[in-house]
Amino acid sequence: MSAEATILLAVAVPLVAAVLIVLTGSRPNLREGVTLAAAAILFGLVASLFPTVLAGGRPAVVLGEMLPGLNIAFEVEPLGMLFAAVASFLWLVTSIYSIGYMRGHHEKNQTRFYAYFAIALSSTMGVAFAGNMLTLFAFYEVLTLCTFPLVTHHGTEEAKRAGRVYLGILLGTSIGLQLFAIVWTWTIAGTLDFTDGGILAGKAAGPTVGILLALYVFGIGKAAIMPLHRWLPAAMVAPTPVSALLHAVAVVKVGVFTVLKVIVYIFGVEFLAQAASSRWLLYVAGFTIVAASVVALRSDNLKRRLAYSTVSQLSYVIMAAAILTPLSAMGAALHIAAHAFGKITLFFCAGSILVASHKTLVSELDGIGRRMPWTMAAFAIAALSMIGIPPTVGFVSKWYILRAAMEAEQMFAVAVIVLSTLLNAAYFLPIVYAAFFRAETAEPVAAGGPARGAEAGDGGTPRHRGHRREGHGEAPLCVVLALTVSAAGIVFLFFFPDLPFALARQLAGGAG
């Protein structure tokens, strides 16, 4: 099969899957079969593009002309390849997880959930492979809209309010700022194609560059740079698989991915490095890293803590990109992959805890490691990756960002990384410690034990949030399986980082 067809299929397969999911809605097993099959096919498709891209190829295809001179076009370059590979692999893992979670937690409207989930993946692929800014923007907006029903899945008053924040910030920034920036770029440069070295060199100068960069960076609300980060904690009201794949991987990574694309292919790293008016980005990103970490430190709700940790980690990518050297761009690309694996594992664990024990607060987790050893072991590995301790992939990306900051003599960035590492340790390690080494506060009836046989789906009334299941064990098998795989991925990528490396190195033009 030609690479062109593969690209189009990568976007189309999840869409077709969404239709099939709706059609098979009355038969849950078949419906989940569709999701799994689609995820597997998608990963296969994306993987089949690897050799071409690694060999330096840039397979491209034009779907059609949207506006005169502006096509809906796809082009696979290393960064998009990396992102698509991570997202599609984790969709497969998340699908397995979702089955355990959604059934174990007795969620309603599961057909709608799986259908919109598939559409979200389709638009993620569209963003990853977009060949120009217009195409990217179109899929970016579709992603916002199709994740809205996922965020508001429970249909409660709280969900509605979160949905408002979500849509308000994401649509507000994208229409109000990003679209403005895109049209402006189009009027200045006469093209929106992603081009090596950027399209603005020689066409914009002085403060224009800084203003345009600000419009892009703040217009890409999905990157959650402060003060436009509030939609992300708000989105945590969604079911956990949504938080895991979409709000730790797909949606937020679309944000930083877009920022990275804009910096590398619209402005061009070298062009931006010469523009004095673009310096502020480093400081805004640095501030976000530290401030979000502080908020995370003070959050008792586990998912909220993870959300603010995500805000902080996203800005790592932006700060790395803002150092504006080839090496730093490479670090940024690696961190997209590294954080994806780490954060999705953490969310899987949070969901696993919720399903098995209905606990949502950090302060309730004392001693839970003995009941849910697999979950908390995975949590510990992912937490190490977040902090950046070997043998986890988080160490690799952080190493490169730190090295880039040192080489560029950006002492501000170095200081931020050091400070934030301490903060990361301060808000993750106590959870691991409490889970394994502290005794349970309220002594539950010691039935069940840590055996995995105590499936969470049995009998109980999980809709009652206050209800504390006595003597719970591990979460359902699917859930544990998924989080084990993603945690294994974290370690695997530390020892075998060749593939992401090769792609990131291409992006950086052979540096490092």
> Given the complex with another protein, which of 154 and 279 has the nearer CB atom?
154
Are the CB atoms for 123 and 147 separated by under 8 Å?
no
Residue 331: CB atoms within 10 A of its CB come to: 30
**Minimum distance from CB of 482 to another protein (Å)?**
30
Q: Distance between terminal CA atoms of the chain?
A: 34
| Phi (first) and psi of residue 126, to 5 degrees | -60, -45
- Binding to another protein by CB under 8 A, coded x per residue (else -) over 125-144, reads ---------x--xx--xx--
- Where residue 154 falls (left for φ over 0; alpha for ψ -120 to 50; beta otherwise) is alpha
**Minimum distance from CB of 318 to another protein (Å)?**
24
Are the CB atoms for 308 and 298 separated by under 8 Å?
no
DSSP letters spanning 216-228:
HHHH-GGG--TTS
Cis peptide preceding 227, ω within 30 of 0: yes
- Give yes or no for residue 399 binding another protein (CB under 8 A): no
Only segment of 25-33, 66-74, 194-202, 455-463 that touches another protein (CB under 8 A): 66-74
Which of 3, 8, 12, 66 is the binder for another protein (CB under 8 A)? 66
**Minimum distance from CB of 121 to another protein (Å)?**
17
Are the CB atoms for 161 and 176 separated by under 8 Å?
no
**Minimum distance from CB of 134 to another protein (Å)?**
8
- Give yes or no for residue 22 binding another protein (CB under 8 A): no
- Give yes or no for residue 453 binding another protein (CB under 8 A): no
**Minimum distance from CB of 293 to another protein (Å)?**
31
Q: Determine the Cα–Cα distance for residues 454 and 467; give it in Å rounded to an integer.
A: 17
**Minimum distance from CB of 154 to another protein (Å)?**
10
**Minimum distance from CB of 122 to another protein (Å)?**
13
Distance (Å) of CA 55 to CA 302, 337, 394, 499, 501: 43, 21, 27, 12, 14
Q: Determine the Cα–Cα distance for residues 493 and 481; give it in Å rounded to an integer.
A: 18
**Minimum distance from CB of 152 to another protein (Å)?**
7
> Given the complex with another protein, which of 67 and 442 has the nearer CB atom?
67
Residue 190: CB atoms within 10 A of its CB come to: 10
Site for another protein in 174-213 (CB under 8 A): 175-176, 179-180, 183-184, 186-187
Which of 2, 29, 56, 64 is the binder for another protein (CB under 8 A)? 64
Q: How many residues at the interface with another protein, by CB under 8 A?
A: 30
- Please name which of 231, 212, 215, 362 lies closest in space to residue 299, comparing C-alpha atoms: 362
- Binding to another protein by CB under 8 A, coded x per residue (else -) over 469-498, reads ------------------------------
Binding residues for another protein, per CB under 8 A?
64-68, 72, 134, 137-138, 141-142, 145, 152, 155, 159-160, 163-164, 167-168, 171-172, 175-176, 179-180, 183-184, 186-187
